[in-house]
Chain A
Amino acid sequence: MSKLIINREIVDNRWTRVVANEQGEVSLPSEGAVLVPYQYWLANRDALSNREVAVCFAPTDEPESLPVDANVFPMIACEFPAFTDGRGFSIGRLLRVRYGFKGELRAVGDVFKDTLNYLARCGFNAFEVRADKDINEAIKGIDDFTEFYQSSVDVPSPLYLRRPVAA
C-alpha cells in the first residue's frame, strides 16, 4: 500500500484514486474507498451513494459549484498537475474557510517537499508525496517556515496580531 502524510504522520493510503482515461471514462474498483474526479461525482452522485467516496478537485473545478455541504465527504483532494499550478492553493483555502470543510484535505499530484509548507498553510493536512520522492525527507518541508506574516488557514491571525509591539 502506498504511503502518505496525514496530520504530520506517515501512514498507509487506504483510498484508491481513479482518474479518467483518454476517452474521459472512469472505471471504479469493485470495492473499497475511492477518490474520484469531482466532475465524475457530480455526474454520478446517485450511483456512488452506496460507496465510501471522496472527490478530487481539478484546478478548473469550482468549489462554488458544490451542491452539498462539503462535510458530507470524509476527504477532499485537490490535484496539482504541476507544483507551479497554484490554483489548488486557492481551492483548498476556499474549501476550508468559505465552505467550512473539516475533514481530510489532501494534496495529490506534483507534491514534494518544497510546497508542503505553503499547502499546509492553505489548509491541507494530507500530502500524497510523489512516488519518486523520499517521503521521510518531504515531511520536513512542512516546517520550512515556522513564522508567517499573513493570515492563513492554519494560523488565521496575521503576524501583526501576534507580534508584541514595542511601545
Chain B
Amino acid sequence: MYIYDDYDQKIVDQRVAQYRDQTRRYLAGELTDEEFRPLRLQNGLYIQRHAPMLRVAIPYGHLRSAQVRKLAELARKYDKGYVHFTTRQNVQYNWPALENVPEMLAELATVQMHGIQTSGACIRNTTSDQFAGVAFDEIVDPRPWCEIIRQWSTFHPEFAHLPRKFKIAVNGAKEDRAAVMVHDVGINVKLNDAGQVGFEIFVGGGLGRTPMIGDLIKPWLEPKHLLTYLNAVLRVYNRYGRRDNKYKARIKILVKAMTPEVFAAKVEQEWAFEKDGPQTLTDAEIARNHRFFTAPAYESLAGDDAEFAAAKAANPAFARWVERNVFAHKVAGYAAVTLSLKKTGVPPGDATDAQLDDVANLADRFSFGEVRVSHGQNLILADVKQADLFALWEEAKRIGFATPNIGLLTDVICCPGGDFCSLANAKSIPVAQAIQERFDNLDYLFDLGDIDVNMSGCINACGHHHVGNIGVLGVDKNNAEYYQITLGGRQGVDAKIGKVIGPSFAQEEMPDVMSKIIEVFVAHREGDERFIDVFDRIGAEPFKAKVYEGKPIRKEKADV
C-alpha cells in the first residue's frame, strides 16, 4: 500500500489549510456561492437534499485499518453514525455541517486521507480492480500505475478546471472489474510476447445522459510515456472539449464529434511535443511505486486447506458463502473475501461506524490490516488464509456483512437517489430494498446465478444502470416517480449499454416487474446459463411481452 512521505503529507496539509481559508472567506461573505461552489466541489463537498455531503477519496479503493477507524470516528463525531460506499470506490458522509468540513479534512489528513478531486471538473480519483494484486486472473498489478496517475493528476495545474469531470480507470486482469470501457480514459495494463509491460488506452467511455463505450486510441503505449501521453489527451480535451453545454462537455462527445481516428491523431500530434519531456517516467520512479505494492508476508501454504474443505462439507451455509463471497487468490492457501454491504433492509453500500470498527479489527486479524472498496459497493479483505475463512465468516455474520449474495440479484448497485441526492427524479433505495425483499429466498437466488442489477435515481447514472444486466432508472413523470427498465447491459471486456424495454413503471409495480423478468429468464434458461447469456440468445422481446402483458400500450418518450 502506498505510504505518504513528507512531500505527500505536506501537499495534503497545505490543502487542508487552503480549504479552511476558503471556508472562512465563504462564511465571511468574501467568496460568493458561485465562487465557492467549484472550490468546495474539488474538496468533495456537495450541497445536497438534507445537508452538505462530503465525498472522501479512497485511491483505487485501498484502505488501512487505521483509516477505516478514522472514517468510523468521523461518522460518529460529525455525521449520523454511518457512511455510504460508492461505485467509484469512494465514501460519502451524508450529514456533515459545512462549518465542520475543514476539521474533518484535517482529521482525515492525519491518516493520509482527503477529499481532493472527488468531485468537480477535474481529474477524479482513479479507480481499479478491487482484487488488484491478488486476483488469480491478473496479468499485471495495476496499482503502481494507479498511484503514478494519482500523483500526476493531483492538483495538475493545467487541468484544474476542465470542461467537465474526468475519470480514469486501470485494469490489469483478464476480467475487467474496473469498468474501463465506461470511463473517460480506460487503461488496460498488458504484457506483450516479450513479457514487457504496456498500456492499451481507451477514451470516451462514460454513462450519464449519453452512455458510450470507449474507443481504443492507442493499442500499445510504453510505460515511461504514460504521463506524457495522458497530458496530451487531457490537453486536447481541455482546449477543445465543449464548454457551452454541460451535457455535451464530456470527452466522449468530443471524441464522437471528431471521430476516434481524428481525436487519436490530434493526441499524437500533441504528444509529439510532450514525449520524452520532463514528465517522462524514470525507471527509478516506476520501481519506487512498485515497492509500495509488494506482497504481504504470506505464509507458504499447501494448496487447499483440509480443515477449510471439511468445514465447507459440514456446513452448507458456509459453503454457500464461500461460493459467492470468496474469490480465488493467486497465492496458494489464500483467498479474497467480499463482505456484503447488501443485506436486505439496509441501503446498498451503507455501513455504520460500529461496523467499520469491526471491519478494521477483522482486517487486522485476518488480512494484514487492509480493507478495499469495490466498484460494486462492497468491502473486501484481500488476503485471508483459507484456514481462517470459517472464523472470519462467523465474525462477518455477527456484523451483518456475511450475506452470501455477491453477484446475485440482491447484490444491487444503487445510487443514493431521492432519499439523499438533490438531483434525483426518483428514490432508488426503497426500490432496491423491495426487490431484495421479494427475492429473499436464498436457495432460489442462488439458483438464478449471476445477475447484475444496477439502479440510478436519475439520468446521471451514478448507479451505472446502463451497464447492469437489468438496469433501473428513476424518471419523473408529472411529478410522480417512475422506473424505466433496461436489459442486456454489461460491464467488463465485452461492455455494452443496455436497451430500454418500454414505458416505465410505478414504484409499487417494480417487484412484480422484476419477478416477471426473472420468470422469463428461468423459462428459457438451459442448464446453468447466466441471465445475460439467455438475454443474448433470446433478445428483449420475450421479456417485453411478459412485463407488458395485459398493460395498455402507451407511447412514451424514452429518457435514454
The answer to whether B235 and A90 touch across the interface, beta carbons within 8 angstroms, is yes
The answer to whether B278 and A158 touch across the interface, beta carbons within 8 angstroms, is yes
Also in contact, A163 and B7, with CB within 8 A (given A145-B155, A150-B151): yes
Check: B221 CB closer than 8 A to any chain A CB. no
The answer to whether A144 and B151 touch across the interface, beta carbons within 8 angstroms, is no
Check: B551 CB closer than 8 A to any chain A CB. no
The answer to whether A114 and B22 touch across the interface, beta carbons within 8 angstroms, is yes
The answer to whether A89 and B161 touch across the interface, beta carbons within 8 angstroms, is yes
Alpha-carbon distance between A105 and B369 when the two chains are bound, in angstroms: 50
The answer to whether A145 and B11 touch across the interface, beta carbons within 8 angstroms, is yes
The answer to whether B157 and A118 touch across the interface, beta carbons within 8 angstroms, is yes
Also in contact, A163 and B11, with CB within 8 A (given A87-B238, A152-B157): no
The answer to whether A150 and B152 touch across the interface, beta carbons within 8 angstroms, is yes
Interface-side segment among A2-10, A14-22, A78-86: A78-86
The answer to whether B239 and A147 touch across the interface, beta carbons within 8 angstroms, is no
Also in contact, A114 and B278, with CB within 8 A (given A90-B238, A160-B288): no
The answer to whether B243 and A85 touch across the interface, beta carbons within 8 angstroms, is yes
Check: B35 CB closer than 8 A to any chain A CB. yes
Check: B50 CB closer than 8 A to any chain A CB. no
Check: A50 CB closer than 8 A to any chain B CB. no
Alpha-carbon distance between A148 and B277 when the two chains are bound, in angstroms: 17
Q: Inter-chain contact count A-B, CB under 8 Å?
A: 106
Alpha-carbon distance between A156 and B14 when the two chains are bound, in angstroms: 21
- Residues in A with CB closer than 8 Å to B507 are none
The answer to whether B14 and A86 touch across the interface, beta carbons within 8 angstroms, is no
Alpha-carbon distance between A122 and B155 when the two chains are bound, in angstroms: 12
- Residues in B with CB closer than 8 Å to A114 are 22, 31, 35, 39
The answer to whether A159 and B282 touch across the interface, beta carbons within 8 angstroms, is no
Alpha-carbon distance between A149 and B7 when the two chains are bound, in angstroms: 9
Check: B523 CB closer than 8 A to any chain A CB. no
Q: Please, could you name 20 A-B residue pairs with CB atoms under 8 Å apart, sorted by A?
A: A86-B158, A87-B238, A90-B235, A90-B238, A90-B239, A112-B35, A118-B155, A119-B157, A122-B158, A146-B14, A147-B7, A147-B10, A149-B152, A149-B154, A150-B151, A150-B155, A150-B227, A159-B7, A159-B151, A160-B281
Alpha-carbon distance between A10 and B266 when the two chains are bound, in angstroms: 40
Check: B38 CB closer than 8 A to any chain A CB. yes
Cross-interface CB contact of A156 among B10, B238, B278, cutoff 8 Å: B278
The answer to whether B151 and A86 touch across the interface, beta carbons within 8 angstroms, is no
B11-27: CB near A (< 8 Å → 1, else 0) gives 10011011000100000
Check: B5 CB closer than 8 A to any chain A CB. yes
Alpha-carbon distance between A156 and B157 when the two chains are bound, in angstroms: 12
- Residues in B with CB closer than 8 Å to A147 are 7, 10-11, 14
Check: B194 CB closer than 8 A to any chain A CB. no
- Residues in A with CB closer than 8 Å to B288 are 160, 165
- Residues in B with CB closer than 8 Å to A122 are 157-158
Contacts A87-B238, A147-B7, A156-B278 supplied; 17 other A-B pairs, CB < 8 Å: A83-B161, A84-B38, A84-B121, A86-B162, A86-B238, A87-B239, A90-B158, A90-B239, A114-B35, A115-B160, A144-B14, A145-B14, A147-B11, A149-B151, A150-B227, A151-B279, A159-B7
Residue of B whose beta carbon sits closest to that of A165: B288
Interface size band for B: 35 or more
Check: B509 CB closer than 8 A to any chain A CB. no
The answer to whether B285 and A160 touch across the interface, beta carbons within 8 angstroms, is yes
Residue of B whose beta carbon sits closest to that of A114: B39
Nearest CB of A to B555, in Å: 40
A47-88: CB near B (< 8 Å → 1, else 0) gives 000000000000100000000000000000000000111110
Check: A106 CB closer than 8 A to any chain B CB. no
- Residues in B with CB closer than 8 Å to A91 are 239
- Residues in A with CB closer than 8 Å to B11 are 145, 147-149
Check: B444 CB closer than 8 A to any chain A CB. no
Nearest CB of A to B497, in Å: 30
Alpha-carbon distance between A145 and B10 when the two chains are bound, in angstroms: 9
- Residues in A with CB closer than 8 Å to B278 are 151, 156-158, 161
B147-174: CB near A (< 8 Å → 1, else 0) gives 0000111111111111000000000000
Check: B302 CB closer than 8 A to any chain A CB. no
A87, A112, A122 interface centre (most CB from chain B within 10 Å): A87
Residues of chain B from 323 to 365 with CB closer than 8 A to chain A in the complex: none
Alpha-carbon distance between A89 and B162 when the two chains are bound, in angstroms: 10
Nearest CB of B to A133, in Å: 8
- Residues in A with CB closer than 8 Å to B310 are none
- Residues in B with CB closer than 8 Å to A45 are none
Nearest CB of A to B240, in Å: 9
Residues of chain B from 17 to 76 with CB closer than 8 A to chain A in the complex: 17-18, 22, 30-31, 35, 38-39
**8 nearest interchain CB pairs?**
A86-B161, A121-B157, A160-B285, A118-B157, A149-B151, A151-B279, A151-B278, A89-B158
- Residues in A with CB closer than 8 Å to B243 are 59, 85, 87
- Residues in B with CB closer than 8 Å to A119 are 157
- Residues in B with CB closer than 8 Å to A86 are 121, 158-162, 238
Nearest CB of A to B114, in Å: 13
Nearest CB of A to B451, in Å: 41
Nearest CB of B to A165, in Å: 6
Residues of chain A from 109 to 152 with CB closer than 8 A to chain B in the complex: 112, 114-115, 117-119, 121-122, 134, 137, 144-152
Alpha-carbon distance between A157 and B157 when the two chains are bound, in angstroms: 14
Alpha-carbon distance between A89 and B161 when the two chains are bound, in angstroms: 9
Check: B391 CB closer than 8 A to any chain A CB. no
Residues of chain B from 265 to 298 with CB closer than 8 A to chain A in the complex: 273, 277-279, 281-282, 284-285, 288
Alpha-carbon distance between A84 and B282 when the two chains are bound, in angstroms: 33
Residue of A whose beta carbon sits closest to that of B148: A160
